[in-house]
Amino acid sequence: PEKSFVHLLNLRHDELTIVEAHVSEGSPVAHKRVANAQFPVHCVIAAIIRGPDPVIALPNTEILPGDELIIVTHSNEEEDLRRMLMES
């Protein structure tokens, strides 16, 4: 089965985490611009993988179903981020 939210790496003594999240059609961030998606305050979208192409996540970049988001976040916000992305 496809993983929708994958913990990739801990950084800086486990204070920061890099995760990869698949955006489904029912995700609350689908069809929203990065600036309007209401990510937790300590989350940064490092990149969006759209098909074979990486996309730089600018504030006006639209997040589409099927996108893979590479996100850097505080470790203590990882679970909140997962819940936020997976709600439908």
Neighbouring residues of 75: CB distance < 8 A, sequence distance ≥ 6: 10, 14, 15, 16, 17
Mean pLDDT score of the chain:
86
Distance separating alpha carbons of residues 31 and 28, to the nearest angstrom: 8
Residues 17-43: pLDDT tens digits? 889 999 999 899 999 999 999 898 889
Domains of the chain are: 5-73 (3.30.70.1450)
Q: How confident is the model at residue 5 (pLDDT cuts 50, 70, 90)?
A: low
Neighbouring residues of 8: CB distance < 8 A, sequence distance ≥ 6: 17, 18, 19, 20, 70
